[in-house]
């Protein structure tokens, strides 16, 4: 059971208790890989937590980039949130249909924009439904709400910064992909990408941070997982994955541990695996 913290993670009990709070905003941030065979928007239309708005990770992104769902420019984030009625003074709770997967990416996006009153729903929509809690299929009534943001540049890293960190060893680079993809034994799902990992990175598969029911492990258990992967928690951390979605699960876990010096490599393997002049390690 999550120790409820409206800045990181809240339980289904907590959310149901606060469902009628006027300053609460709930976001359905479901997003699936093509091989998952699920349609996030259709599932949202069919059933969602009462009052939830749909946060489209692919659309609320920097579409000037050729890389998938890069973090949106602040002005785009502001315009989308304003139209969705998400603004200053709101407590935001983000969930997804997979349990705890893409919701962490949206939590990180809010953090990147300087908004800290945001939490992920532990166990997501699957747990909410399994417990027989209320759902609806009506879209919420939206009213514009003013929102101010302050982009926290230290929370995101680009390829040059990650290459420097890999060479200098002054950060821990944590890769959330599966062990097979990390070692290079498994092919990448995106065509044209090399296999392997960023030199000097450590594998912390995002699933190892979660319980079987899709909830996040306790802070003590998270610490044990991270330390078992050989991670030095004394160094600042950079997280990475296939395209910057599951990496944010590590950022959320680190925040739960009370570690605040962490950032996310937004281009992740979709970028690193594409350029032949960037070194790749295997095994």
Give the catalytic positions in this structure: 241
Q: What is the C-alpha separation between 211 and 188, in angstroms, rounded?
A: 25
For 50, other C-beta atoms within 10 Å of its C-beta total 14
Question: What's the Cα-to-Cα distance from 218 to each of 94, 175, 210, 282, rounded to whole Å?
Answer: 19, 20, 9, 31
Indicate left, alpha or beta for 157 from its phi (over 0: left) and psi (-120 to 50: alpha): beta
Q: What is the C-alpha separation between 182 and 193, in angstroms, rounded?
A: 13
Indicate left, alpha or beta for 26 from its phi (over 0: left) and psi (-120 to 50: alpha): beta
Query: What is the pairing mode between strands 172-175 and 91-95?
Result: unpaired
Question: Where are any strands of DSSP class E within the chain?
Answer: 9-10, 24-28, 53-54, 91-95, 118-121, 156-157, 172-175, 201-203, 237-240, 262-265
């Amino acid at each position: 059971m999550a120790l409820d913290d409206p800045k990181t993670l809240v339980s289904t009990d907590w959310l149901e208790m606060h469902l009628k709070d006027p300053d609460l905003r709930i976001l359905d941030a479901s997003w699936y890989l093509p091989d998952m065979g699920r349609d996030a928007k259709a599932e949202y239309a069919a059933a969602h937590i009462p009052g939830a708005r749909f946060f489209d990770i692919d659309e609320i992104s920097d579409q000037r980039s050729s890389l998938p769902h890069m973090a949106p420019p602040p002005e785009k984030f502001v315009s989308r949130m304003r139209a969705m009625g998400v603004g200053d003074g709101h407590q935001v709770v983000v969930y997804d249909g997979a349990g705890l997967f893409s919701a962490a990416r949206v939590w990180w996006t809010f953090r990147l924009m300087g908004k800290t009153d945001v939490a992920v729903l532990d166990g997501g929509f699957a747990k909410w439904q399994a417990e027989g809690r209320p759902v609806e299929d009506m879209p919420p009534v939206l009213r514009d709400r003013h929102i101010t943001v302050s982009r926290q540049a230290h929370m995101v890293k680009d390829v040059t910064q990650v290459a420097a960190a890999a060479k200098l060893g002054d950060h821990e680079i944590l890769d959330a992909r599966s062990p097979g993809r990390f070692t290079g034994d498994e092919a990448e799902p995106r065509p044209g990408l090399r296999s392997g990992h960023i030199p000097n990175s450590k594998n912390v598969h995002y699933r190892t941070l979660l319980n079987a029911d899709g909830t996040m492990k306790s802070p003590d258990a998270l610490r044990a997982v991270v330390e078992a992967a050989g991670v030095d928690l004394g160094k600042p951390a950079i997280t990475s994955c296939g395209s910057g979605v599951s990496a944010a699960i590590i950022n959320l876990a680190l925040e739960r541990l009370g570690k605040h010096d962490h950032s996310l490599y937004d281009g992740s393997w979709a970028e690193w695996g594409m350029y032949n002049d960037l070194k790749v390690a295997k095994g």
